[in-house]
Amino acid sequence: MAQLRKIKASTLMETLVATVLIVIVFMMASMTLNALFANTVANNTHEVEQELLFLRYLYENGQLQLPYYDELRDWEVIVEAREWNSNNQVFFSAEHLETKKKVSIKL
């Protein structure tokens, strides 16, 4: 028969400490990724920017009556004409109802 070599094994306490350290590292990484993802989702204004561009397109083609007010999920959308330095300008703006973040386009 072949003779088996002795392999040095770790103790139960060393294994438990290593397991706890691995769990802590993965927990910290998970919390960091969760915070990054939540921040990205909260600052995403792509949908409302697309809505403002669509309203601009409608206005340029004479299909939008001013003033225009609407809500898009948590955003309040306003399109209105204002006079600025003797020029009539059309402002397309959206404001988030909770965070008060604003997105606007001037025409």
* CA–CA separation, 101 and 93 (whole Å): 11
pLDDT band at 107 (very low <50, low <70, confident <90, very high): confident
User: Which residues, in sequence order, are CB contacts of 105 under 8 Å at separation 6+?
Assistant: 52, 53, 56, 91, 92, 93
The pLDDT score that the predictor gives to residue 33 is: 96
* CA–CA separation, 29 and 70 (whole Å): 40
The arithmetic mean of pLDDT across residues 63-90, rounded, is 87
Query: Does residue 1 register a pLDDT over 70?
Result: no
* CA–CA separation, 46 and 94 (whole Å): 12
Q: What is the pTM of this model?
A: 0.64
Sign of the dihedral defined by the CA atoms of residues 51, 54, 59, 64, in that order:
negative
pLDDT in tens, 25-51: 999 999 999 999 988 888 888 989 999
